[in-house]
Amino acid sequence: MAVGFTNSTCCDGTAEWCDTCGGRTGPLIGTAGCRGSFWADDVARKVGVAHNWPEYSGKALTIAIRKVLDLTRDARARDGLARYCWKSAGERWRELQAGAPVNGRGR
């Protein structure tokens, strides 16, 4: 389960996406998060980490959705996974700004 989800099965695992337990798409949260981390690393390699990670709108929103588009056909699940992808990218971005190596390699 992703951070923020409870262990309850409020939807009995039948919903494609559930804001409480993740629903059937919940197990894909890890994949979305991993894709977000790689996204941040790619951007850092190209432009550095001097600026803040963008808000979840405009181009960042479009990219996040594109990153998870193949994971589900359900619009609500896709939006949840895209938001998690973006959130993970932002967390990774802050790690990179603090000096973490890009993709495990020194800068």
State pLDDT tens for residues 65-80: 999 999 998 898 899 8
> In this structure, is residue 50 part of a structural domain?
yes
> Cα separation of 88 and 55, whole Å?
13
| pLDDT interval class at 3 (50, 70, 90) | very low
Which two structure tokens, joined as six digits, stand for 77? Answer: 């699940």
> Cα separation of 40 and 96, whole Å?
8
> Cα separation of 71 and 47, whole Å?
28
State pLDDT tens for residues 38-59: 999 999 999 999 999 999 999 9
Cα-only R_g, the chain = 15
> In this structure, is residue 55 part of a structural domain?
yes
Which pLDDT value is given to residue 76? 87
> In this structure, is residue 63 part of a structural domain?
yes
H or E element, residue 29: helix 29-47
Which pLDDT value is given to residue 60? 98
State pLDDT tens for residues 57-66: 999 999 999 9
Q: How many domains does the chain have?
A: 1
> In this structure, is residue 60 part of a structural domain?
yes
